[in-house]
Structure 1
Amino acid sequence: MKTKNIKLLMAGAASILFTGCSDWLDPKPLSFFTPENTYNSYNGLKTGTDMLNRDVRYFDYYPTSFSADPCILSEYFFSEMAVNGRTDAGNTPVDLTALITPSANLKGNNSQINNYWTYLYKGIKDANTLLTRSETAEFENEDQRKEIEALAHFHRAFRYYRLVHQYGDVPFIVEEVTGPRYDFYSTKREAILRWLKNDLETTAPYLSNDVNIGQVTQAAAYHLLAKIDLALGEFDAAIEACNKVIGDGVHHLMTERFGVDKNDPTKNVVWDLHQSENKHLPENKEVLYLVLDNYDETDARSATGLEIKRQILPMYSATTSNIKTPNGKKAFVDNDEKKNPYLLEYGRGICTLRQTWYATHMIWTLDNTDLRHAPGNWMRMEDLTYNNPALATEDPEWYGKPLQKYDSKGNLLVNDTIRAWSEWPHYKTNVADQKANNWRGGWADWYIFRLAETYLLRAEAYIWKGETGAATADINEVRRRAQAREISASEATISMILDERARELFYEEPRKCELTRIAYIYAQTGKADDKGRTYSMDKFSQENFFYNRIMDVTDFYNKGVKNAYGLTYTIQPYHVLWPIAETTTSVNVQGHINQNYGYDGYEDNVAPLDGPNK
């Protein structure tokens, strides 16, 4: 990528507002950024693609106007990697069986399912507008037109890839919508994927890897194409797409120290890779696509930015967590970084994303050398010490000593083990707070696609083909960088792929989407999973790999576990697909948007389309 670090927020772009759940049927140009006076030249259309880049950051990783919870959390709550740790509200997405319905207000603290629909379709609307306007805009040459078309196709495909693995069959729209429409029908997931595949195969060659940091690269387009090929069960094509990224002569895994802490011997390359200041450096050749987020003190988009510390760290310091010394004294002072330096060093979490035992322990049993789980990179509660200054006189026996979960008699020393006692990847959550006294994790660049995932996508394709030797080589490319033990060919399974994705791509990949994609592959191919179970498309939402995978490793869902509020953690096989909001289906009075199995309205479904809505 070029070294120039562009700002994605163009003048006036911050005034763009997200539409409501059904407003994508009635897109409204806002401010002076209307298609008529902006999308009539290369520069105007290029600004539109920059705004699509900006929105990728918003719809996944940033708190919304509805909630302090970013949407990406819902991708993890519907997976084996995490549950919602918030224990102070009845609408927390814990009892998914009861809460996740078409009529529920699935925004904010009670999941972001409806927000994903809104934000993704907003981007599709914008991409379609760019494509339509590019037909009549003035360009200096044909290469400019092809570049705009390729960028718009990428963004449309990026969003539809997410939609079809969140909701399955959805309305497929490929033209600009210029007025209210209430006549949409669902399109088959496979038909959408095949259309996207053709779009990317046709337009990716017109993209470049020599672009400004934060813009879409050609490698990102082929990376996305590989995911779509996998989703279609076209494994040779997926390998070919990955080869165009891995062998492009531009990108490589970062295996040597680099960036701001390069000369700090207490750090390592895994740490370097995930520090925000290093992600956009021209020497970082692993990044295929990332979103930039430079702090601007005049920007009122968010009180604190990314808030990753708030979401992931345990609520260790708050009085409600009630962590005590074995002698019953208060472990920490809250909201005072002078009396509790951990607030400044690590952050103040509320543990909205509470990782499971699978994520914090099970996947790390292969060896004890993995840098991604090593001291300094990975934090355990026992790495903290009782630092309340009052303990120096009130409980000197334990002042400065490591935290203990139990006393000598086996009594718990923490009031809420779900919310206040958990581990976390410090190398990923170490995001600076540009505003004082927040300790939440501020504005930061974030990876969307990087080469490590490309290796794992190719390895997955090889495993589906039965070529475990080639798969092993790709998995070990990623593991060697982390100084982890190399696996053998007998260990190269889909479960291993998911475990390695969990180790490498936490809070980067949309975990629920990837589990659902793999569940579809099992159902489409009839291949047995690693436990010998087989699946079919005709019972996809009743019996699927998505649910079985979660049940295989969860220590929360359907185990009778209750949080401190009294809610029981539950999940069902039909959660492989999310419900489509009743407010969306009901307003579509001249068409029919199908509901997914397990939710009210499914009984009224009609045959989905084989192509786009016209």
Structure 2
Amino acid sequence: MRIIHDIKTHLVLLVVLLFSAGCEDWLDPKPLSFYTPENAFQDYSGLKTGTDMLNRDVRYLEFYPTSLSADPAYLSELFFSDIAVNGRVDDARSPQDLIRQITPSANLRSGTNMARCHFYWEALYKGIKDANTIISRSEFAEFDSEEHKKEVLALAYFHRAYRYYRLVHQFGDVPFIAEEVTEPRYDFYTTRREVILKQLKADLDLTASFLPEKVNAGMVSQGAAYHLLTKINLALSEFDDAVKSASAVIDGGVHALMKSRFGNASGYDDPTKNVIWDLHQTENKASAANTEALYVVIDRYDDESATPVGLEIKRQVLPWYSYPGQLKTPAGENGFTDNNEIKNPYLAEYGRGIGTLRSTMYHQKQIWKLDDTDLRHDRKSGNWMHVEELKYNNPSLEGKSEWYGKTIKEALEAVDGDITRICSDSIRGWVGWPNYKVNVPDQKTASWRGGNADWYIFRLAETYLLRAEAYIWLGQKDKAMADLNEIRERAGARPLAMSEVTIRQLIDERARELFYEEPRKTELTRISYIYGETGITADNGATYSMTDFSEKNFFFDHISAVTDFYNKGVSSSIGNEYTMGAWHVLWPISESAISVNVQGHINQNVGYTGYETNVEPIDHAN
């Protein structure tokens, strides 16, 4: 298979120059150390290398931790959502009591078991700085053709839009910088979110068509640009335009949903597996046969640019079933061993989780009540697993306990459904997981965490869901139903009736289809903005306004309605109570980013210390 050999060539050319860019806070007054554009950005080759590095940074942004001591930043998107909470109940730093822990002065950058809000701020602005440098330098570079120049500009505008789209739905109004910054600055001002989004829309409207429709693995396709444009159109409540940009991808003739089995991944010759399994196996994501992939980041263990740790997705998502004493027999015997796959074969088969990403009942059960045929929640094929299906396999039980070889489900029945009799910590040890998604092997160590693997950033299934959402806002439920059912029928789920087509159903379908793919907090905040700006009555009967957005919003009301953790009196073993406030619809901006900006003014979000000094944000792009 061809694996981005062009990227590797450029990496060798500029790795020394680029590495110094680091991840410093762009809005801190530090020398801007992006590699010397005077030397590197003189022609197409040098500029294209810069866009390749922006691609690399998308990979590093959230899914792949940079060391064993850091959790993926992506987990924070799920902790601030309806999908999951932090399950590490033995660490006081765990982002669980969000009201107390999430503040402008807190360490929200890096480390094990930390919320990574400020990390996103720094990493996203670093990418914006780099994209602006490429845009600026392309005006003076030499190109062999106008098409090369257009391609470079389209890639730079895509990456800038990708990052700003995330920033304005993580933090709201933020500084908008559209030019190359060549020296330290202290004069940034906050710009209105809508102004930023309109500029992003104008940029992509102009340049999306400049990108090729078919690309090598790991590159940005034209479909990816129109997909991102669709999200921006939705964020602006430009629903007709959202339909058009989504349709450019869906009806363009290049991309199609994968509906038949494909690829050569593990399990392909297993008749119990299915297309849902194939779609999410490592070897198949960037396969030329996969017409559903719009934008995939590449991470191969045997490639020189592989991330040092990999995904670690098993470690994050699976419950800590193997921890001694976590799951017991009804007689109180330890059911499993840890750190030994000979004694506990489940470690190699499924992985060794520690329950950091603890799914809520919303994700575990509520969204699957429509039917029992959905392959995304199917236990018979092994797509979905639950600890109750595991069989006690501790060698010390063999020949001595009646429970050896019996399932935990049988044990649960024996104790009349009292989970506490057989599970010492139901937060961390009693949960199910989508095995078809987290089935990522370790290549280099027997730690069973989930190693190097490609991952979807955008794929066509989400484009269908984005267009369905636009149709719902437009009141065209028949068309929305057709798009939703394309996704559901591929998964073996029953089709929805017209009466079931709502924004809540759309949100549920996103949870069913896009677990550990979509930035869940970002998308819930985007939908909340739409409700606040349009005044459309939500499915819960409430209406919302932008005048008190951080005090009353759909984001908080929806999570409150479906969560079994936040604000329900649930506490960890060391006393952290799971709490969330309505203002968490937006994250706090780091105190340090605000305080060093002495010649300007960066606003703080309402609900956090410092918002009292806010000034009117800029209402124009230039």
Q: TM-score range by the shorter chain?
A: over 0.9
Distance 1:60 1:37 in 2: 30
Aligned match of 2:240:
236
Closer/same/farther in 2, CA of residues 205 and 86 from structure 1, 3 Å limit: same
Q: Is 1:197 paired with 2:201?
A: yes
C-alpha displacement of 1:17 = 5.3
Please state if 1:550 is matched with 2:578.
no
Superposed counterparts of 1:460-479, under 5 Å: 460-479=469-488
Which residue does 2:133 correspond to in 1? Answer: 129
Instruction: Report the equivalent of 2:314.
Output: 309
Q: 2:602: which partner in 1?
A: 593
Q: Name the residue aligned to 2:52.
A: 50
Report the equivalent of 1:224. Answer: 228
Q: Deviation per CA, 1:387-444, whole angstroms, max 9, x where unpaired?
A: 111110331x111111147452635211111011111000000111011211000000
Compute the displacement of 1:595 (Å).
0.3
Shift in Å, 1:66: 9.4
Judge conservation of contact 2:300–2:306 (CA < 8 Å) in 1: no
For the pair 1:165 / 2:169, whether they are aligned, the reply is yes
- Alpha-carbon separation, structure 2, partners of 1:159 and 1:388: 48
Compared CA separation, residues 16 and 343, structure 1 to 2 (3 A)? farther
Count, aligned residues = 607
Q: Tell me how far apart the structure 2 counterparts of residues 295 and 382 of structure 1 sit (CA, whole Å).
A: 33
Alpha-carbon distance in 2 for matches of 1:299, 1:148: 22
Amino acid at match of 1:269: V
1:360 Cα deviation after fit: 0.7
Aligned pair partner of 1:214 in 206, 214, 218: 218
Question: Aligned partners of 2:318 and 2:21: how far apart in 1?
Answer: 30
The answer to whether 1:252 aligns with 2:256 is: yes
The residue aligned with 1:93 is 95
CA shift at 1:611, angstroms?
A: 2.8
Cα deviation per residue 1:58-114 (whole Å; 9 max; x = unaligned)? 111011469421111000000011000011211110000000000111123220001
Query: CA separation in 2, counterparts of 1:49 and 1:415?
Result: 50
Letter in 2 for 1:394: K
Q: Among the aligned pairs, what percent are the same residue?
A: 59
Match of 1:424, SS? Answer: strand
Shift of 1:211: 1.6
CA contact (8 A) 2:26 2:125 kept: no
Match of 2:359 in 1: 355
Change (3 A) 1:491 1:294: same
Does residue 388 in structure 1 map to residue 394 in structure 2?
yes
Structure 1, residues 302-337: CA drift from partner, whole Å, max 9, x if none?
Answer: 2x3110000100011112x52111111111110011
Answering whether residue 182 of structure 2 is matched by residue 178 of structure 1, we say yes
- Counterparts of 2:291 and 2:495, CA distance in 1: 23
Distance 1:124 1:612 in 2: 15
Which residue type is aligned with residue 137 of structure 2? R
**Any residues of structure 2 matched to 1:102-501 within 5 Å, and which?**
102-107=104-109, 108=111, 109-260=113-264, 261-296=267-302, 301-302=307-308, 304-319=309-324, 322-375=326-379, 376-395=382-401, 397-404=402-409, 406=412, 407-408=414-415, 410=418, 411-501=420-510
Deviation at 1:300, TM superposition (A): 8.3
Give, in angstroms, the shift of residue 139 of structure 1: 0.6
SS of 2:547's partner is helix
Q: Determine if contact 2:344/2:394 at 8 Å carries over to the other structure.
A: yes
CA 429–8 in structure 1, closer or farther in 2 if over 3 Å, else same: farther
Q: CA deviation digits over 1:366-406, x for unaligned, max 9? A: 000000000100001112110111110331x1111111474
Q: In structure 2, what residue type is equivalent to 1:343?
A: L
* C-alpha RMSD of the superposition: 1.7
Shift of 1:575: 0.3
Q: Secondary structure of the residue that 1:110 maps to in structure 2? A: coil
Give the Å deviation of 1:29.
2.8
TM-score, normalization by structure 2: 0.95
> What code does the residue aligned with 1:74 have?
S
Q: Residue 256 of structure 1 contacts residue 269 of structure 1 at CA under 8 Å; is this kept in 2?
A: yes
Deviating more after overlay: 290-299 vs 509-518: 290-299
- Secondary structure of the residue that 1:57 maps to in structure 2? helix
Q: AA paired with 2:363?
A: A
CA distance in 1, matches of 2:415, 2:242: 55
Asked if the contact 1:344/1:439 (under 8 Å) is kept, the reply is yes
- Aligned equivalent of 1:583, options 592, 615, 619: 592
CA distance in 1, matches of 2:118, 2:620: 24
| AA in 2 matched with 1:307 | E
TM-aligned CA deviation for residue 194 of structure 1? 0.2
User: Which residue number in structure 2 is paired with residue 567 of structure 1?
Assistant: 576
Kindly provide the amino acid, as one letter, of the partner of residue 439 in structure 1: W
Q: Which amino acid aligns with 1:506?
A: F
Q: State whether residues 18 and 118 of structure 1, in contact with CA within 8 Å, keep that contact through their aligned partners in structure 2.
A: no
- Matched with 2:71 is 69
Q: Unaligned 5+ residue runs, structure 2?
A: none
Q: Is the 8 A contact 2:306 2:452 kept in 1?
A: no
Compared with structure 1, are the counterparts of its residues 582 and 268 closer, same or farther at alpha carbon in structure 2 (3 Å cutoff)?
same
* Cα deviation code 1:181-231 (max 9, x no counterpart): 010000000000000000000001111112211110111111111100000
Change (3 A) 1:26 1:445: same
Deviations 1:332-357 (A, max 9, x none): 11001111111111111111110000
Partner of 1:37: 39
Q: TM-score, normalised by structure 1?
A: 0.96
Kindly indicate whether the alpha-carbon contact (under 8 Å) linking 1:24 and 1:122 is maintained by their aligned counterparts in 2.
no
Worse-matched range after superposition: 322-331 or 115-124: 322-331
Q: CA deviation at 1:601?
A: 0.7
Shift of 1:519: 0.3
Please state whether the residue corresponding to 2:62 is helix, strand or coil: helix
Change (3 A) 1:342 1:210: same
Q: Is the 8 A contact 1:286 1:451 kept in 2?
A: yes
In structure 1, C-alpha distance between the alignment counterparts of 2:447 and 2:303, rounded to whole Å: 15
Please give the alpha-carbon distance, in whole angstroms, between the structure 1 residues aligned to 2:600 and 2:442. 48
Asked if 1:534 is matched to 2:546, the reply is no
How far is the alpha carbon of 1:301 from its aligned partner?
Answer: 4.6
The answer as to whether partners of 1:169 and 1:189 remain within 8 angstroms in 2 is yes
Tell me, what secondary structure is at the counterpart of 1:390? helix
Give the SS at the match of 2:398. Answer: helix
Question: Would the alpha carbon gap of residues 537 and 67 (structure 1) be closer, same or farther in structure 2, given more than 3 Å must change?
Answer: farther
1:345 & 1:52 partners in 2: Cα distance?
35
Structure 2 residue matching 1:394: 3-state secondary structure: coil
- Alpha-carbon distance in structure 1 between the residues aligned to 2:538 and 2:185: 43
Structure 1 residue 527 displacement after superposition? 0.5
Instruction: Give, as a single letter, the amino acid of the residue that structure 1 aligns with 2:374.
Output: D
Q: Which amino acid aligns with 1:416?
A: D
Structure 1 pair 456/345, CA: closer, same or farther in 2 (3 Å)?
Answer: same
8 Å CA contact 1:22–1:587 kept in 2: the answer is no
